[in-house]
Structure 1
Amino acid sequence: NTVYINDPWDTKAIDTVGAGDDVLIVGSGLTAVDKIVELEGKGHKASIYVLSRHGLFPNRHTKNFQRRSQVEFSCSSALSALERIRQRAANPTATKKVTDWRQVIDELRPVTQKWWLSLPLPEQKRFLRHLQTYWDIHRHRMASEIADKIEATREKGKLKIIAGRIISVRAEGDRLTVDVRERGKETSRSIRVSKIINCTGPQSSLAKVDSPLLANLETRGLIHSHVLGTGIAVRPDGQVVNRMGQPVPGLFAIGPLLKTELMESVAVPELRGQALSLATKIASLAKAMDCPDASALERA
């Protein structure tokens, strides 16, 4: 259906968006930012609505700030972690200059997974429910030049941000009427658009993901949902755990399916580290099994 674009990276589908088409983008992360900039670059003239639960865009990078070295970070609750991050961002450095909060977030990056794995399950659940969105907009940021473009589009009234959720969508002629309930309000409002673009990111819930492979593995009991509801149950090294709680020999996962297990599992540095670790492990397993291609795997 050309009015609903489920894959924002489907260039042919995006090319069907006309300059005069009002557009609703669902999701307000970096993918949404990319699509707004792309549409602007193609001469799009009509309104762009962006809808997400909190209506928050990623924060911006700054051009000049010094990254500090890795720090130890150990907090036993989501709230104490939030307070410690705030304190570090507010405290002056040795040079008496106020620390840029971006430094604080970036210095935590190498230790985030270790900290996440140390949290009790109830605290992980609390973080995902109350703090995940705020962490994401500070952690996954826009380039300063891109942020300027987004702000300019917003200031001229073309870009409209809505915090809320979709109640219903109905076709009326060649357009769609979308009923939206805004955050904190009891009543809904309607917007009319020609296109809807899904920018909510990869689906990691087994109950919702459209994957014959994952559905087959789940039916066979080889995978099951993480206890917190999204992603799959794995060991910290990515080895899949079956429905009986046992590791499945030779079955591993990387990327978004590990997001609940590891928290940081979608950005390139984390994916690169996971891929390297997994490749090393597979090469070691192949060598132990005396596979003919084990040496080639190790060299790769």
Structure 2
Amino acid sequence: MEHVAIIGGGFSGALQAINLLRHQGPRATLIERRTETARGVAYSAAHPDHLLNVRAGNMSALPQDPGHFERWLERRHPELAGSFAPRLVYGDYLAELLEEARTAAPERLNILQGEAIDVMPDGEGWRIALADGTIIAADAVILAPGNLPPHIPGGIDADALPPGAFAPEPWSSDVAKGLRADDAVLVIGSGLTMVDIALLLDARGFEGKIVALSRRGLSPRAHAAVEPSTRDMRPPTEAVGLLRDVRARSCEVGWRSAVDELRPYTEGLWAAADLTERRRFLRHLRAWWDVHRHRIAPKVADKIAAMRDAGRLEIVAGKLTDVTGREKGARIRYRPRGQDAITTLDVRRIINASGPQGDLLRTTEPLLCRLLERGLIRPDPLRIGIDVTQQSETIGADGEAHPTLLALGPMTRGTFWEIVAVPDIRRQTWAVARKLSNAHWVGGEGL
């Protein structure tokens, strides 16, 4: 294998390119439609107040060098070492890693700005078509689409709302633009993206009311210093049994430790669970898992708590029933959880923070739509991403895996589940790089 094309230059794609070079693998072309590579949405659209959700000590991009990011911080931003660093700073770290890789081997890494709109089989290899008409030949293709934009929630007809009343993507524009102190904002969702939006609105000087609406009204918990703990036995696979087990462990070691000690088992538990158990987990436990597993920095938690105490942020459990346009904004009707009566709320803007989409059958991304049409990829059985093997090989409509058409990152959550955070994606990209570089046959650990 001589040439690998990587489509998507965010964290997953950029790290894949870096790892191919570190393993002395085939040359790579990294294709990114944005003007910046390595940062993606998470590390480029952030505000300085947006912090990483993981301490610096566990944010190394290199699995064989756990302290890499922390040493980089000590050199570049010593005041941040050992803390929850700003996401913009982490974007700088990734961009520098990628540039170092390209500078060290310019003949082996080409970074190309453009939009891939099609991938076509070509003998034993592939041809990638770009929007500008360029065709690129490659022996293998790696899809790294990152998180796809959220679906528009049911009950919202965006075309029926006045301009500026609905922000379909939380990162697509300045969501604070034009807001006044007496305005109210509705955020659909109460997870990590809602936290980011609340911090952003506050940093932009918005003094009005923010209402976050989600089905259960759950919000991310805060990190805290805990003593590491390990389990004596493997946790149950069945969802109800796992819940009972974690509750029992929480009484013994605290809920943070009880959740953290599942990390070595999570991927195996997901792989061992049948489709019924996975669906049960997604329907009944996912929201609880998300807020306890994906925590926020203490500083961020304190800020959110202060906004709630001041009445500037309200988190509501309920279901959106309908939305109608007003002269300036929208009228929201929702049913609070556990109640029959409908609550009405007038807002200047609705911000969609309902979470990234994963259903390929609903996506409008041109490349993914074309790959679906060609039968080269298919949705996973839960329709939360791209169906892949344990080796990250995409599975086509015929059920056959493609060893040279692979996918990385959050869109492979149907197979791996825990594949949204840096520690998980860095292992995945490392394993794929070893395979494509034939390092897995000789036990090489890269450079």
TM > 0.5 between the two?
Answer: yes
Aligned twin of 1:60: 222
The question of whether the paired residues in 2 share the 8 Å contact of 1:2 and 1:13 is answered with: no
- Give the letter for the 1:37 counterpart: L
Instruction: Provide the rounded CA distance (Å) in 2 between the counterparts of 1:13 and 1:277.
Output: 38
The question of whether the paired residues in 2 share the 8 Å contact of 1:255 and 1:265 is answered with: yes
Query: How is 1:142-157 mapped onto 2 (pairs within 5 angstroms)?
Result: 142-157=296-311
Identical amino acids, percent of aligned pairs: 36
Query: How is 1:57-96 mapped onto 2 (pairs within 5 angstroms)?
Result: 57-62=219-224, 64-69=225-230, 72-91=233-252
**Does residue 170 of structure 2 align to residue 8 of structure 1?**
yes
Instruction: Provide the rounded CA distance (Å) in 2 between the counterparts of 1:299 and 1:107.
Output: 28
- Normalising by structure 2, report the TM-score: 0.59
Aligned twin of 1:293: none
**Does residue 209 of structure 2 align to residue 47 of structure 1?**
yes
- Give the letter for the 2:327 counterpart: G
**Does residue 365 of structure 2 align to residue 203 of structure 1?**
no
Aligned twin of 2:268: 114
The question of whether the paired residues in 1 share the 8 Å contact of 2:176 and 2:206 is answered with: no
Instruction: Provide the rounded CA distance (Å) in 2 between the counterparts of 1:237 and 1:185.
Output: 47
Instruction: Provide the rounded CA distance (Å) in 2 between the counterparts of 1:46 and 1:71.
Output: 50
Query: How is 1:125-144 mapped onto 2 (pairs within 5 angstroms)?
Result: 125-144=279-298
Once the 2 structures are TM-superposed, how far is the Cα of residue 119 of structure 1 from its aligned partner? 1.2
Residue of structure 1 aligned with 2:187, choices 25, 31, 41: 25
Once the 2 structures are TM-superposed, how far is the Cα of residue 72 of structure 1 from its aligned partner? 4.8
The question of whether the paired residues in 1 share the 8 Å contact of 2:235 and 2:245 is answered with: no
SS in 1 for 2:174: helix
Aligned twin of 1:171: 325
Aligned twin of 2:60: none
- Give the letter for the 1:266 counterpart: V
Once the 2 structures are TM-superposed, how far is the Cα of residue 208 of structure 1 from its aligned partner? 2.2
Return 274-283 or 170-179, whichever deviates more: 274-283
More helix by share: 1
Instruction: Provide the rounded CA distance (Å) in 1 between the counterparts of 2:303 and 2:166.
Output: 25
- Give the letter for the 2:349 counterpart: K
List per-residue Cα deviations over 1:142-197 (Å, max 9, x = no partner). 21121111111111212111212222222110111122122223332221111111
Evaluate the alpha carbon distance shift between residue 282 and residue 32 of structure 1 in structure 2; reply closer, same or farther with a 3 A threshold. same
Instruction: Provide the rounded CA distance (Å) in 2 between the counterparts of 1:117 and 1:250.
Output: 23
The question of whether the paired residues in 2 share the 8 Å contact of 1:164 and 1:181 is answered with: yes
List per-residue Cα deviations over 1:235-262 (Å, max 9, x = no partner). 1221111111110231111222122222
Evaluate the alpha carbon distance shift between residue 17 and residue 52 of structure 1 in structure 2; reply closer, same or farther with a 3 A threshold. farther
Instruction: Provide the rounded CA distance (Å) in 1 between the counterparts of 2:169 and 2:302.
Output: 26
Aligned twin of 2:377: 223
Query: How is 1:244-255 mapped onto 2 (pairs within 5 angstroms)?
Result: 244-255=398-409
Instruction: Provide the rounded CA distance (Å) in 2 between the counterparts of 1:17 and 1:111.
Output: 47
Return 17-26 or 33-42, whichever deviates more: 17-26
The question of whether the paired residues in 2 share the 8 Å contact of 1:49 and 1:159 is answered with: yes
The question of whether the paired residues in 1 share the 8 Å contact of 2:250 and 2:258 is answered with: yes
The question of whether the paired residues in 2 share the 8 Å contact of 1:5 and 1:13 is answered with: no
Count matched residues. 281
- Give the letter for the 1:34 counterpart: D
Evaluate the alpha carbon distance shift between residue 203 and residue 17 of structure 1 in structure 2; reply closer, same or farther with a 3 A threshold. farther
Aligned twin of 2:71: none
Evaluate the alpha carbon distance shift between residue 54 and residue 17 of structure 1 in structure 2; reply closer, same or farther with a 3 A threshold. farther
Q: CA RMSD in A?
A: 2.2
The answer for unaligned runs of 5 or more in structure 2 is 1-162
Instruction: Provide the rounded CA distance (Å) in 2 between the counterparts of 1:74 and 1:103.
Output: 14
- Give the letter for the 1:112 counterpart: T
Aligned twin of 1:295: none
The answer for unaligned runs of 5 or more in structure 1 is 92-98, 289-297
The question of whether the paired residues in 2 share the 8 Å contact of 1:70 and 1:110 is answered with: no
Runs of 4+ in structure 1 displaced over 6 angstroms? none
Evaluate the alpha carbon distance shift between residue 270 and residue 71 of structure 1 in structure 2; reply closer, same or farther with a 3 A threshold. farther
List per-residue Cα deviations over 1:83-111 (Å, max 9, x = no partner). 111111112xxxxxxx2211111121122
- Give the letter for the 1:23 counterpart: V
Aligned twin of 1:103: 257
Aligned twin of 2:17: none
- Normalising by structure 1, report the TM-score: 0.87
- Give the letter for the 2:201 counterpart: L
Evaluate the alpha carbon distance shift between residue 273 and residue 72 of structure 1 in structure 2; reply closer, same or farther with a 3 A threshold. farther
SS in 1 for 2:377: coil
Return 269-278 or 17-26, whichever deviates more: 17-26
Instruction: Provide the rounded CA distance (Å) in 2 between the counterparts of 1:246 and 1:19.
Output: 55
- Give the letter for the 2:419 counterpart: S
Instruction: Provide the rounded CA distance (Å) in 1 between the counterparts of 2:326 and 2:195.
Output: 28
